[in-house]
Amino acid sequence: MLKVIEDEKLIAKYARLFAKNFKPFIDESIKVKLGHQGASFVAKVSWSKRLGIWIFSQATKDVRYWNVFGIGKPQTGSHLPITAEINFPWVGIDRKTGAAFARDAWDRIYAIHRGKIGGGKKGIGKSLFEESYRGIWAWMEDGGSLTQVAVIGALHSSRFALQTAQFVSKIEKLKSKAFLSPQTLLNFSEVSFHEELVGSPPAPPLDNETYACDHNLIVSHLAALLRRQKFKVGNDVNSELFLMHPGSDKISHVFAVSADSHEQNLLSATAKLLLQQSAEAGHPSAILVMPEDKVNMYVQPMQRIHIEVLGYRLEGERIIFPDLGKIRFANQVPHGAL
């Protein structure tokens, strides 16, 4: 379980680290008009091509640390709408401020969000976030109460900027679909991969939020690599990643990702795979994605229950799948396979 951080000096320290985490990714500063609460002002936002987002941060003494984000490269002088705000209180607990810092039982620090989102349109707010956001959820001691919050990322992780960019992207997609019915959201015109479906709705507390923060990145990065190799990639509310047979509406592969090598989590991912495999026509291949350093322990046991194992490793901000080229259709090597 997480515990909110109230100390003024610690919040200031972590707010500086929050902003510092984006600096290695920044390509340029762009002068724009930034919109906020019905008004606008001239500001220089920081653009990151790799993250696909722009960022503007400003501290208001004794009030808050203001961090706003948007999608896509801005044009100089353009008026920018704000996609997401990740604001931290100056001191103490302020539940009207959307974000906060929290620590876990191992003194690891996270940026969390309470779900307070705006957009100036009917239907966009905390209720939409709580009903529709899929990501990493955790319970947090919030002063005298217990609150369920969304975990943006692990602050000291080298992948924190990537985790935050993914959060911003999900908020943008959440807002863009605010007026669509659940039936419309589930009835995609064609199979494709929807990043906003990666993750979980509100749920019981997680044992280790650090690994959970990387889970969504691993799934999305794997999907991107498979698309690059000309596979038809998709997901839905029941399966966060699958492949389709070429020229067919049948699923060829289903995936489950374990962001750590704890036996309980690996077995949970395995059970999920077996259930997904049995529910699909044609008995698709089942692939368990897990940390590379423990792959050899599980290859043979998984083969006995007809599950393939795909390893990955984390090197700083990079997620590497050394054996990705082994994924193929029967008697066919995919175009561009490694």
pLDDT digits (tens, 9 = 90+) for 65-118: 999 999 999 999 999 989 999 999 999 999 889 899 999 999 999 999 998 876
The topology (CATH level 3) of 209-326 is Trna Endonuclease; Chain: A, domain 1 (3.40.1350)
Of the chain, the percentage scoring pLDDT greater than 70 comes to 87
The pTM score is 0.78
What three-state secondary structure class fits 324? Answer: helix
What stretch(es) of the chain map to CATH 3.40.1350?
Answer: 209-326
What three-state secondary structure class fits 125? Answer: coil
Strands of the chain (E only): list them. 2-4, 28-36, 39-48, 53-60, 64-71, 79-80, 84-85, 88-89, 99-103, 109-113, 137-142, 145-154, 232-234, 242-244, 251-257, 285-291, 307-315, 318-320
Q: How confident is the model at residue 249 (pLDDT cuts 50, 70, 90)?
A: confident
Q: How confident is the model at residue 39 (pLDDT cuts 50, 70, 90)?
A: confident
Q: Locate tokens 């999900």: which residue?
A: 170
Q: What pLDDT digit, counting tens, does each position of 110-141 carry?
A: 999 998 876 555 556 677 787 778 888 899 99
The pLDDT value recorded for residue 195 is: 76
Q: How confident is the model at residue 260 (pLDDT cuts 50, 70, 90)?
A: confident
